[in-house]
Amino acid sequence: VKKICILANSHIGAVTRGMTLLPEHNIEQINHHLDFYRYFDLQGNLYYENGLLKPKNGDVSYYLNHDFGKYHINLQEYDCVVSYGGRLMSNPDGWIQHVKDYVSGRYSSAVLRQSHIDDIQSNDAVKLLTDIANSQVYSGQIIILPSPVPNEQHWAFSSVQGSLPEYMDYIENIYKDFFSTTALSFSALPRELISGNGFAVNSQFKVDTEKDFMHLNDRGGAIVAKKLMNLLRDIS
Amino acid sequence: MFDIDQLWDPKFRIEQTDKVATYGSCFAQHIGRALKARGFNWFVTEQPPVGLSAENQQRFNYGVFSARTGNIYTTSLLKQWLSWGLDTHASTTEVWTDGTRYYDPFRPVVEPSGFATENELERSRQTTISSFVKSVKEADVFVFTLGLTESWSNRVTETEYPMCPGTAAGEFRSEVDEFTNQSYQQVYDNLVESINLMRSVNPNLKVILTVSPVPLTATKSKQHVLVATMYSKSVLRAVAGALSTGYEYVDYFPSYEIINSPVYRGTFFEPNQRSVNHHGVQHVMQTFFNCMVAKFGAYKSTENAEIEAVKSADDILCEEELLANFNKDDQ
């Protein structure tokens, strides 16, 4: 039995609920113990020191103590760390503006590519996981799974006309190239989530909350859960 | 010597809400930054994409001038940008390539590794031209730092390059590329035409001229670079003075004098005797704002000014610095 540390934010809710929608064999084949650490901007509120993930503030400290009876997360207890969310791709302002910048024709491919890389490098989850990897204390696998991009019903997409069938390939290639030079394993968002426009989550996966264009419903969560299970199945 | 004041009697007050466009040679980059740091409305019309770090904005020439023109060293180059933007008949399609990447002859360093395709370059150039035009049409004040009299142009297409072909990009073609060391009259005429062009689309535009205090790195004039520098700066200074005297909406700010006057004993230069150090930059810009305040009254306080002021003078983008590398190779 492998022990998996999952660092997440509110997006994990749909995933855990979605797990209940998966066929039995999807779960049964995963003979792992999963610890879900879920808190608002969790990755941005933790820092890494000597094999431990420690809270940056009292709120996260209280959360860890209240929900898990601990003051830090000892990564030595885990065979794998998975980060889900951490605003990687899910920042609505950033993602939507990236799409607009792409279609504007104002920027060179080199500038656009660099803007994505700078975005990745400034991401709190990436910084935290990089600290873990660079410490060479933790030897388990570190997987980064981005949270969903905004839903196609987001009002800000209304100014983006047409579809971009190549867009997710374009983005994934940038992310994969970047992470190929790190010790982190990047796993792309499941394509089943993406709308026909090529750059937003399909409206059928929108959570049933009027002004929430970011979170998935349980059916969308199940798609991510399936991806997560497949990833964890390969953990040796 | 740092107490010398009243070096400038500004003709008009720049309000903090006024849109101020800045272009010109390397030294012009300090003006935009200083305006922004002091809470003025530095009018940048060509914005970087979301996510691009400050370091890479600088690397790709965003936020260096109001639009991504790169350095505009000469008044003829300024007129060329204006004609591309405001004259529907004027245009250029010239592109340089090394076989794999494409370089804009008129902005040779804005993309450090060149453009991926010719089409990408052309779209980027048009974006810059339209951003440049927007800054001209909508600005309240246009600050232009005159940098050089020496220029390189294509005698076939009659277009001017900011750098000698083959330095920052491209290849030198002796049959095409032509050197000119512009006369007072050429510099004057091009600047008058430029200002007239700008005011034809923005009749209320005010202009502040400065002369870059940075000496030439190299010269093609067959004179010693020291002599060539003195010629160049003298012409530029005289033209700026003539326009400032002749036009009520044109002013001259003496950044050249502040850095180069003997009374300052070369204090404001780096050890290489060419680059202006951050004390010099700070002193020039402090003088600019002090004189404005002395004549027209105080502005509301600006907290970022000191932070910005201590930034090194090294982190400006100066294409002409590339020439220093050629010089090293020769030695």
Q: Do A108 and B127 touch (CB under 8 A)?
A: no
Q: Which residues of A touch B115 (CB under 8 A)?
A: 108-110
- DSSP-H helix ranges across A10-108: 12-19, 24-28, 58-68, 92-104
Q: Do A114 and B52 touch (CB under 8 A)?
A: yes
List of chain A residues with pLDDT < 70? 25-29, 236
pLDDT tens per residue across span A203-232: 999 999 999 999 999 999 999 999 999 899
pLDDT tens per residue across span B62-110: 999 999 999 999 999 999 999 999 987 778 899 999 999 999 999 999 9
- Give the minimum alpha-carbon distance from B58 to chain A in angstroms, rounded to a whole number: 11
Q: Is the pLDDT of residue B112 over 90?
A: yes
By three-state DSSP, how is residue B148 classified? coil
Nearest CA in chain B to A116: B51
Q: Which residues of A touch B51 (CB under 8 A)?
A: 94, 97-98, 115-116, 118-119, 122
Please give the angle made by the CA atoms of A163, A11 and A142, to the nearest 5 degrees. Answer: 95
Look-up of token digits 């002859």: B105
- pLDDT of B70 reads 95
Determine the residue type at A54. Answer: K
- Give the minimum alpha-carbon distance from B47 to chain A in angstroms, rounded to a whole number: 9
Look-up of token digits 């062009």: B197
Q: How confident is the model at residue B313 (pLDDT cuts 50, 70, 90)?
A: very low
Q: Do B51 and A119 touch (CB under 8 A)?
A: yes
- Give the minimum alpha-carbon distance from B217 to chain A in angstroms, rounded to a whole number: 30
Percent of chain B scoring above 90 in pLDDT: 73
- pLDDT of B326 reads 54
Q: Does B100 touch chain A (CB under 8 A)?
A: no
Residue in B244, B194, B219 with CA at minimum distance from that of residue B85: B194
Rounded mean pLDDT, B299-310: 57
Residue B331 burial by Cβ neighbours in a 10 Å radius (0-12, 13-18, 19+): exposed
Residue A212, φ and ψ in degrees, nearest 5: -100, 105
pLDDT tens per residue across span B264-301: 888 999 988 888 898 999 999 999 999 999 999 998 76
- pLDDT of B330 reads 39
- pLDDT of B88 reads 72
Q: Do A111 and B49 touch (CB under 8 A)?
A: yes
Nearest CA in chain B to A97: B50
- pLDDT of B307 reads 47
Q: Which residues of B touch A106 (CB under 8 A)?
A: 49, 123-124, 127
pLDDT tens per residue across span B149-167: 999 999 999 999 999 998 8
Q: How confident is the model at residue B319 (pLDDT cuts 50, 70, 90)?
A: low
Instruction: Give this complex's ipTM.
Output: 0.90
